[in-house]
Structure 1
Amino acid sequence: MSQWYYADSQRERHGPIEADDLREKFRAGDIDLGTLVWREGMQQWQPLSAVSDELQLLAQAASTGIDLRQDYAAIESGEALSAPAAESEAPAATSGETYSPYTAPASRPQDVDPAAVQGGLVVQAGFWKRVAAYFIDYVIMTMFTYIVLIPLSILGAIVGGISGSSDSAAGSIGMFLTLGIGYLIIFAANMMYPAWMHSSKYQATLGKMAVGIKVVRSNGERLTLGRAIGRFFAYILSSITLCIGFVMAAFTERKQALHDIICDTLVVDKFAFTEHPEWQQQGLGTVTIVILSLAGLGILCLIGLLVLIGVAAAGFN
């Protein structure tokens, strides 16, 4: 039989106990329909009311004369026990580490997948916020690319030089193999960085976190790693369509780019689908404006540099 855990009014976690014992505590009034419970196989803690059918609480209430109508009314009106606003509010465990009773017993707090809260306001991330986030991620991945390629290029030259002293063909092969490994590493990093971050508890890359947006399923749920990897390959489709797939985010109803439509994802404010939708930001925000300004300045400087190089080259001719 399933082993159950429950959290009391002081947010202390209890268990494991058998389903019969949990029903007995409910009958005795030690817990109510607002009590949060968990068992293996559940993705997150749920109020007892959500599993009342599984535990046959209604049948037990009918047999004992317990009236649950007020309890259900309280839950529907939001008076039931709710999760803490922050993990830091949870009491300390006996080992000295902090934990929340709303964390599954086998999980650490940072691994909790918060439930998507439906019915609230959802602010879609506009095109320019996504551009600002992409600029930050582009800078990060470009730095990583150089960190990988520069030492591998040096290593390839050394390998090619050593092998080329006796066989020029072997030297070329050794150099190309070394660089090939480098490009494979870069491709894997470009794929796994957004996939891992989008499927993490943050639901966002570093760039998206900076501007306050995240990637979710169309129903607000967190992406699985598999879907996040699929989104990367769909992202390539948005690129090879002359970037029209990206521009679609400025015109579609839910601000979806082509890869979002393919993978059933949305890019939304970080507080969308949470218990505090009122914290969402409607405008661009200061961070986004600063990043876009820096990106624009960088592009202008690059254009100016290219013009100067062209003028200088023409002068030498």
Structure 2
Amino acid sequence: MQVWIGRNGERFGPYTDDEIRQWLRDGTCRPDELGWYDGMVDWRPLGELFPDERPNVADGVPPMPPSPPPFMGVTDVATPEYAGFWLRFGAWVIDYLILIVPFTAISLGMGLSTIATAFLEQMKTDQVAAFQAYAAAMLPITYVLMVIGYVYYTVFEASKWQATPGKMAVGIRVTDTDGQRISLARSAGRNAVRLTNVLRFPVPLPLICYVVAAFTQRKQGVHDLLARTYVLTGRANEAPAPVAAPRNGDSGRFDA
């Protein structure tokens, strides 16, 4: 494993994990210094990446840190790019068009034509009753379509593609905070927020869930924040290794 180190706002490396372990033991590197390796999104303290390695202490006196390793800055590590609203909206439109086909077939099979005919007939005599009857008759169809859409998003986003066909078409993918494929359980929890589309509140809850993405640093919606996921640009099979870029005056903190 090749590891980069963040020190004084700069990136250095890469080094082997054996070198990092040795430097943590002899005090060359501190556990609170930040590290990154291929596949991670956020930089994390070396003490978290190598929890078993601690400075050697004899007789209660910590060792004097030796000269630092020959750090050499690197500039070829890719910065993650978070998918914005319009990319995600485009993916949603494509997925919607894909789902229309099975949705229509299932709706017709569950009696949509009969429901629509009865609605139009009742509209001639009692419009209020017509809408009430139509809403009640459509509930079973709505629930079935909701479950199908939920399974569609959950399975595809937890798959090796890390994306629905719509997301693949626009070149974005869903990852965990380490830039890795999410589990089926995490995908299920993330997409449970989509079920709020059938709920009614004074302010549309789905609108709140997605508008949040416009104001968060990593363009996360409420479902992303709760599930600790990102939506990044690039397909799963061709995306560069993401890592945060250093910023001046950030005291060595690296944010993705």
> What is the TM-score when the length of structure 2 is the normalising length?
0.50
2:210–2:221 CA contact under 8 A, matched in 1? yes
Does residue 215 of the first structure (1) align with residue 174 of the second (2)? Answer: yes
| 1:89-104 matches, cutoff 5 A | none
C-alpha offsets along residues 89-119 of structure 1, whole Å, 9 cap, x if unaligned? Answer: xxxxxxxxxxxxxxxxxxxxxxxxxx96236
Does residue 244 of the first structure (1) align with residue 244 of the second (2)? Answer: no
| 1:198-277 matches, cutoff 5 A | 198-237=157-196, 240-241=204-205, 243-271=207-235, 276-277=240-241
| 1:31-50 matches, cutoff 5 A | none
CA distance in 1, matches of 2:222, 2:87: 17
* Change in 2 beyond 3 A, CA 1:277/1:136: same
Aligned counterpart in structure 2 of residue 139 of structure 1, from 97, 105, 112: 97
More helix by share: 1
Aligned counterpart in structure 2 of residue 185 of structure 1, from 126, 139, 144: 144
1:214–1:268 CA contact under 8 A, matched in 2? yes
Does residue 153 of the first structure (1) align with residue 111 of the second (2)? Answer: yes
2:173–2:231 CA contact under 8 A, matched in 1? yes
* Change in 2 beyond 3 A, CA 1:75/1:234: same
* Alignment RMSD: 3.9
Amino acid at match of 1:241: L
Residue identity (%): 30
User: How far apart are residue 126 of structure 1 and its match?
Assistant: 0.9
> Which structure 1 residue ranges, 5 or more long, are not aligned?
1-46, 50-71, 77-114, 158-175, 279-317
Which protein has greater RCO, CA pairs closer than 8 Å, 6+ apart?
2
User: How far apart are residue 74 of structure 1 and its match?
Assistant: 11
CA distance in 2, matches of 1:242, 1:216: 21
Structure 2 partner of 1:195: 154
CA distance in 2, matches of 1:271, 1:75: 32
SS of the equivalent of 1:268 reads strand
* Change in 2 beyond 3 A, CA 1:272/1:199: closer
C-alpha offsets along residues 209-249 of structure 1, whole Å, 9 cap, x if unaligned? Answer: 00000001111121111111111112345884250221121
1:237–1:259 CA contact under 8 A, matched in 2? no
* Change in 2 beyond 3 A, CA 1:241/1:216: same
CA distance in 2, matches of 1:246, 1:253: 14
Amino acid at match of 1:132: G
| 1:48-67 matches, cutoff 5 A | none
C-alpha offsets along residues 229-287 of structure 1, whole Å, 9 cap, x if unaligned? Answer: 11111234588425022112122100101110011010001257977349xxxxxxxxx
* Change in 2 beyond 3 A, CA 1:146/1:216: same
CA distance in 1, matches of 2:104, 2:180: 35
SS of the equivalent of 2:111 reads helix
* Change in 2 beyond 3 A, CA 1:127/1:222: same
Greater Rg over alpha carbons, structure: 1
> What is the TM-score when the length of structure 1 is the normalising length?
0.41
Amino acid at match of 2:40: Q
1:136–1:207 CA contact under 8 A, matched in 2? yes
